[in-house]
């Protein structure tokens, strides 16, 4: 359990730091007088979506490492490719809930932390997009 908690804490911090940089980058890219409205929205959407995909990918790497070190596994027996683990991670990160693949053993703890982290960071993205779309250039 200690390894699972350590893995969860590391992934939580890495994703938080990555997302902070992505939000700052989105704000920087859209902080130009000639980029407003739909253009600013699209830039922010793409930057933040890329960050979310990368963050789910970080968790997938963590789950893959956890599975290979024996911390836990997945209930579906044919989860052996990185794409399967990435699929689980995207579903979990986006808070869609448990689907056809779900964690077993101590991998359940980082999975719960991923759902919390995903919810928090998606909320941060919504706040950033609101700021980008309501910004007034003087």
- Assess whether pLDDT exceeds 70 at residue 132: yes
pLDDT reported for residue 96: 82
CATH among 1.20.1250.20, 1.10.287.70, 3.30.590.20, 3.90.209.20 for 2-134: 1.10.287.70
Q: What are the tens digits of pLDDT across the range 58-113?
A: 999 999 999 889 999 888 767 778 898 899 999 999 988 777 888 999 999 999 99
pTM, whole model, 2 decimals?
Answer: 0.90
Q: What are the tens digits of pLDDT across the range 6-39?
A: 999 999 999 999 999 999 999 999 987 778 788 9
Domains of the chain, by residue range, sit at 2-134
pLDDT reported for residue 137: 60
Helix extents (H) in the chain: 2-29, 37-68, 82-93, 108-134
pLDDT reported for residue 37: 84
pLDDT reported for residue 121: 98
Are 113 and 12 a contacting pair, CB within 8 Å? yes
How many angstroms separate the first and last alpha carbons of the chain?
Answer: 54
pLDDT reported for residue 36: 77
Cβ neighbours for 3, distance < 8 A, ≥ 6 positions apart: 66, 69, 71, 106
């Amino acid at each position: 359990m200690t390894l699972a908690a350590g893995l969860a804490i590391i992934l939580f911090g890495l994703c938080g730091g990555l997302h902070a940089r992505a939000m700052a980058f989105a704000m920087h890219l859209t902080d130009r007088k000639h980029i407003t409205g739909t253009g600013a929205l699209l830039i922010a959407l793409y930057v933040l979506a890329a960050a979310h995909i990368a963050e789910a990918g970080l968790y997938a790497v963590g789950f893959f490492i956890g599975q290979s070190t024996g911390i836990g596994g997945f209930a579906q027996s044919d989860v052996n490719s990185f794409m399967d683990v990435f699929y689980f991670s995207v579903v979990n990160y986006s808070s869609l809930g448990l689907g056809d693949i779900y964690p077993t053993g101590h991998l359940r703890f980082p999975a719960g932390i991923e759902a919390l982290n995903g919810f928090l960071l998606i909320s941060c993205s919504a706040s950033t997009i609101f700021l980008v779309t309501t910004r007034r250039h003087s």
